[in-house]
Amino acid sequence: MTVDGQRRLDGDDADLVCRAVATMLSELVAETTELTEPRKYGIDWFDQWEPEQRIWLLERVATAFLTDQAVPAPAAIWEATVDAIFQHVFESLVTEIDADCLYVDDSSHAPDESDSWRQAVIRAFQQNGRRLSPISTVTDDKVLWRRLVMQIADMILGVTTYHAVESYRDGDVSRVGRFLEQKGLPADFLEQIPPLVSQTEAAALIAQIRRLLAQRG
């Protein structure tokens, strides 16, 4: 469900999400097969799960983003996974900026802007914002880039609510129920968690994500 109603992503925003999901998946596969350290995004509702569970979350969200299949009921885990995807976009963009700075005086290593994370973010922003980006690919201000990436997420899905719901959990529990009801969210919004996933199931999920991404070219 997006701010424009129920739809699948198509165009530049889908390309940006696919790019992020592809690199996230590669890291998760490495984590499960090579015992590499898990990447943390600072998003507990995504970071806390086992790598196979994060693969399950990624597959569910990618399917919701890129196909016409029925979307899952609202839950904190879905919002957090979307946040992790766009955090990955931002962190990849920052890595790209830092790498380009190393070659600022070396024309033989000039970056290909047409294939850059920055250009992908600008295209997605302009598709959803229906206006020119306020910054260009030569901008190196990371605060401005974070703002732009977050705007894309907000323009697609609106402002997430799981942070607000979490803040009520430390107080009167009844307030959580009232808040969820006011927002039109299910009572188990905070209770849904990813299932335990076997290695065989994880392999099937990985294959499914790769099929989805391949359909986008």
Per-residue pLDDT tens over the stretch 143-186: 999 999 999 998 888 778 888 787 776 666 677 888 888 888 88
Q: What are the tokens at 78?
A: 């879905």
- Cα(105)–Cα(200) distance, integer angstroms: 49
Q: Per-domain residue ranges for the chain?
A: 12-215
43 pLDDT tier (thresholds 50, 70, 90): very high
∠ CA(147), CA(153), CA(158), 5° rounding? 110
Instruction: Express each pLDDT in 3-38 by its tens digit.
Output: 566 668 889 999 999 999 999 999 999 999 877 889
- The one-letter code for the residue type at 58 is L
Q: Is the pLDDT at 100 greater than 90, yes or no?
A: no
Q: How far is CA 124 from CA 131, 148, 197, 200, in A?
A: 11, 10, 33, 35
